[in-house]
A and B are shown apart, each in its own frame.
Chain A
Amino acid sequence: MTVHTALRGAPVERTLLAVPGAHCAGCIRKVEDGLAKVPGVIAARLNMTTKQLSVEHEPTLRLPDITAALARIGFEAQVLTGEAAKSQGRDTRDLLRCTAVAGFASMNVMLLSVSVWSGAEGATRDFFHLLSGAIAIPTVAYSGRPFFRSAFAALKSGRTNMDVPISIGVLLVTALSLFEALTGGAHAYFDGAVMLLFFLLTGRALDSVMRDRARDGVSALIKQAAPGAMLVRPGGATEWVAADRLQPGDRMIVAAGERLAADGIVERGTSGVDRSLLTGESDPVAVGLGDEVHAGMLNLSAVLTVRVTAAGADTSVAEIARLMDDAAQGRSRYVRIADRAARLYAPAVHALAASSFLLWLALGAGWHQSLLIAAAVLIITCPCALGLAVPAAQIVAAGSLMRAGVLIKDGSALERLAEADWALFDKTGTLTLGRPELVNLEEVPEQDWPLLLALSSASRHPLSQAITRALVGRNVPSALLDDVAEEPGFGVRAMSNGVPVSLGRGRAVDALSTTFTNGDRKAGLRFHDRLRADCASTIERLAQLGLPATVASGDNSRSVAAALNGLGLTAQTSMSPQDKLDAVARLQRAGRKVLMVGDGLNDGPALAAGHVSMAPASASDVGQNAADVVFLADSLAPVAKAVVAARRTMRIVRQNFAIAIGYNAIAVPLAFAGMVTPLVAALAMSGSSIIVVANALRLRGAAR
């Protein structure tokens, strides 16, 4: 998002960046002070809650310069685009304002009401009633807006929701109390009206806070593809162009280690590309003249010149984003448990209030007293406890899970997680850690290790990087080589003191192996992608919980079989993003509620389509965005833990509903009989709310 503003005459642009790596006071200082030194930067401020950096700079400063400066400081940053970040949290702010006003008013009105209940008489009582009205009426007008708006919208489309009885109740009670206050009546219910608003708004605000957390970072969807590319103009000049301004026909130069910003065809150079972002396949493929490459692929070994064939919204990455959008539509039809309860509850409340009015009128009580009793019924039945039952339980459980390293991104995620009865896992990066590890270094003679390190550090191939990691971990020095060349599809060749050495694919066809050659000595190196800790026990635990697990992987069957050896899982392999989406859809059609656990961009559509979805924190941003729940550990245990916590939460929610209904069963007959004074209403309302919140607090240890 870049906003043009004029500050002190000089033009200033503001850019928002996501800096996920920042986590401490030292980071704030490093980022802000480091950027302040960059010429052209006017001010930088890092928000630790959203992990977003706001940079004010001169328009001449280019975005890559900012990210490059951040990279030098040691932080990975992505430019945030789109308007989504702007409107974030506006609903919550409005609700918090309404809650604050209602809280202020209910405290002050209650102060006056207590004096009336303790025996204020005559002129004093009338004065206190009027004063209460002077506080309550503006409050109802201000804080009641969220309910009035929603009730009006529902009525206009011919439906009814929980906000309709709330609105009618509050307005009716306020109007009647005003009449009472003006005519010197004995009872005014101003305290009940504002207290009702206060409790209900508290529930709404909690709910809205949960929803905001979910929205954080949604705008970052396509940032997995490169932000731009270096273009060669016909004259030979080079120019950096942002991804959304690339045109078909442009020629871009992609250096080794860069991601492609658009789909295209290779015009010059040969290299290996890592397609794991798109397909999940861990084995890189060789590309050369005339081969097709896609946005989001990582160029591994040599410079490529690519003619762009599709850019922006036409690329394969954007296509996956579209699939995800469509898949997510189905989930938005999910009706939350509170709304399902309200559907049954609202008509019952209307019927009760109307029948009490008619009954008392028929018994000859006069319209004034009948209305007063009907209003008391409405106030008593209004779902104070019901409105708090779900959000209070969910926010306490989410807090507990967060301390255990599980982030709940969506308010309804816990409800859906509790219902899941099938688990579908991705392999690479989900069941496994997604980084290959060298198994048999000992088979290479120790005097060859420096040579091996020199060869492996010349390549960006994931297996080479694994060798480098293993050797650097043992403090092996690097040897000197001549004529180092990386051969796409094979590996690295070089000369060491006149002897040809190489590291690359030998006769073995297994994806997770490579051959090291020194002269005529050969050694096969094997790797494995280690399973996450607690993999087997988690899958067993899930089965006990009634969630049988299967695997859907984009990798080939050989790699999958090798990695999952001994877990006893059935797996489908070589699946495209569309195949995974279909697999989820097939299970859901069969009546299953699928918990999808995945990490990659290729899992995105399936994550969005699953009844509920989880991603590890090591996942791609797309994966994290599409998932409802993100877990932070290197272990798989949080998956089962979250399911258990979700089920406990729903048990508490159901208990809370039972408490709320039980309270109504006692209070409604009293109200119906006309025995509810303002004092009784106030006690009943706050009593049931406190019980419900206290019950929700039992979830504090839910994730243990």
Chain B
Amino acid sequence: MSGLVLLIPLALFLGLSGLAAFFWAMRDGQFDDMDGAAMRILIDEEK
């Protein structure tokens, strides 16, 4: 039983941090250009 005191807040914390990361990513425009992101990885930066 005493494990619950630790495990429940831990589970909630992990879930909330995932949610926060999703919110951040959306606000930061990470999902604005899904096609471009897949292509940009192929661009050779050294010129």
A interface list, Cβ under 8 A from B: 24-25, 28-29, 33, 46-50, 93, 96-97, 100-101, 104, 107-108, 111, 124, 131, 135
Contacts and interface: CB of A to CB of B under 8 A. Distances in A.
Residue with the highest number of chain B CB atoms closer than 10 Å, among A24, A29, A46, A131: A29
Contact of A46 (B1, B19, B26, B36): B36
Contacts of B1: 124
Contacts of A33: 47
B39 to A, nearest CB: 4
Contacts of B36: 28, 46-49
Given A25-B39, A25-B40, A97-B23, A49 B33 contact: yes
B32 A49 contact: yes
Contact of A108 (B12, B34, B35): B12
B34 A49 contact: yes
Contacts of A48: 33, 35-36, 39
Contact of A104 (B19, B40, B42, B47): B19
A388 B36 CA distance: 30
Contacts of B26: 93, 96-97
Contacts of A101: 19
Contacts of A46: 36
Interface residues of B, number: 21
Contacts of B33: 47-50
Interface string B11-47: 1100110110011001000001111100110110001
Contact of B15 (A25, A47, A107): A107
B8 to A, nearest CB: 7
Given A49-B33, A104-B15, 20 more contacts: A24-B39, A25-B39, A25-B43, A28-B39, A28-B40, A29-B43, A46-B36, A47-B33, A47-B36, A48-B36, A49-B34, A49-B35, A49-B36, A50-B33, A93-B26, A97-B23, A97-B26, A100-B22, A101-B19, A108-B11
Contacts of B12: 108, 135
Nearest to B29: A47
Contacts of A29: 43
Contact of A25 (B11, B19, B32, B42): B42
B21 to A, nearest CB: 10
Contacts of A50: 33
A104 B11 CA distance: 11
B19 to A, nearest CB: 5
Nearest to B18: A104
A28 B47 CA distance: 15
A312 B37 CA distance: 38
A212 to B, nearest CB: 12
Contacts of A49: 32-36
A195 B34 CA distance: 28
Contacts of B39: 24-25, 28, 48
A131 B36 CA distance: 43
B12 to A, nearest CB: 6
A554 to B, nearest CB: 36
Residue with the highest number of chain A CB atoms closer than 10 Å, among B11, B22, B32, B39: B39
A104 B19 CA distance: 7
A101 B34 CA distance: 22
A29 B40 CA distance: 8
B43 A28 contact: yes
A684 B43 CA distance: 49
Contacts of A97: 23, 26
24 contacts: A25-B43, A28-B36, A33-B47, A46-B36, A47-B33, A48-B36, A49-B32, A49-B34, A49-B35, A50-B33, A93-B26, A97-B23, A97-B26, A100-B19, A100-B22, A101-B19, A104-B15, A104-B16, A104-B19, A107-B15, A108-B12, A111-B11, A131-B8, A135-B12
A218 B45 CA distance: 34
A124 B40 CA distance: 52
Nearest to B1: A124
Given A25-B39, A49-B34, A108 B15 contact: yes
A341 B11 CA distance: 40
Nearest to B47: A33
Nearest to A27: B39
A209 to B, nearest CB: 11
A29 B39 CA distance: 10
B17 to A, nearest CB: 10
A100 B1 CA distance: 30
A111 B35 CA distance: 36
Contacts of B34: 49
B38 to A, nearest CB: 8
A308 B47 CA distance: 49
A111 B34 CA distance: 33
Contacts of A28: 36, 39-40, 43
A49 B39 CA distance: 11
A200 to B, nearest CB: 19
Contacts of B22: 100
A46 B34 CA distance: 12
A135 B16 CA distance: 11
B23 A100 contact: yes
Nearest to B34: A49
A689 B38 CA distance: 32
A135 B33 CA distance: 33
Nearest to B19: A104
Those 8 A-B pairs whose CB atoms lie nearest each other, nearest first: A48-B36, A25-B39, A48-B35, A25-B42, A47-B33, A49-B35, A104-B19, A49-B33
